[in-house]
Structure 1
């Protein structure tokens, strides 16, 4: 429901303005800016108040897309140069106080400043015919990259059922036993003893006196 309200607000804002349709994103951000500062039937407090614990103010709001004369800082400004540039109001900055303007005849198309003069009455008197704005909503399905596309269910093993069937029949299941050749360790040969006669190192012809 909220998305439908936003799209309807964007179509209405674009239809009543002379801003190029390519800037519909600026209209969407401005619509969200306004909805966050107005109460609803379900919640008496605004989203801005729930988030910041402060009541919002709408005194600084203006008609989206209205002509404006904005004055921007120019360090190289000369005496005969124009003090302001013509543009269209397209929204509010995120991190500063002021306004955003679309200036088609300026070297920088989108500028931000807090010093401007809004020509809201002239925009209402000049806009006799409404533009037809078609904004197509496209939904894109984003698949989670970490989830597998196909889930394979585990299948039961049939060997367990065959084993139980053999046990009920009273016969033991046959097992294939691989018989390996047993290699016996080599027998150690007995030690041979020398059969030579041992002779004394000292001959019998000598006599030893201690």
Structure 2
């Protein structure tokens, strides 16, 4: 799965760890036959997982540039840069 995620978006192979972490993150939020009517995440936390934030690994995204980092005095400068999605944070706070 990780190889497929990297090759489908022509991403460098040094992102293999991020690809595997993302796949594990997603698989833990999908139903599993060993857990009837439950996901691994739900079995661990006793809460239904929120999946509204899930994205495809490698898809194009916009990355917000914080106000503190932007150039001052120029209103028309970019407020975001283009990037590719390479994984989720290690936090439960979304």
Residue 64 of structure 1 aligns to a residue whose secondary structure is coil
- In the TM superposition, 1:1-210 aligns within 5 A as 9-44=1-36, 45-78=38-71, 79=74, 80-95=76-91, 96-97=93-94
In the TM superposition, residue 12 of structure 1 has moved relative to its aligned partner by 1.4
Distance across 1 between alignment mates of 2:4 and 2:47: 29
Larger-Rg structure: 1
In the TM superposition, residue 61 of structure 1 has moved relative to its aligned partner by 0.6
Unaligned runs of at least 5 residues, structure 2 = none
- What is the CA deviation profile of residues 144-181 of structure 1, one whole-angstrom value per residue up to 9, with x for unaligned ones? xxxxxxxxxxxxxxxxxxxxxxxxxxxxxxxxxxxxxx
Give the paired residue count.
89
Higher relative contact order (CA 8 A, sep 6+): 2
Shift of the 43–19 alpha-carbon distance from structure 1 to 2, 3 Å rule, reads same
RMSD between superposed Cα atoms in Å:
1.4
Distance across 1 between alignment mates of 2:51 and 2:69: 35
- Normalised by the length of structure 1, the TM-score is 0.40
Structure (1/2) with the larger helix percentage = 2
Shift of the 37–76 alpha-carbon distance from structure 1 to 2, 3 Å rule, reads closer
Distance across 2 between alignment mates of 1:55 and 1:18: 34
Unaligned runs of at least 5 residues, structure 1 = 1-8, 98-210
Shift of the 18–55 alpha-carbon distance from structure 1 to 2, 3 Å rule, reads same
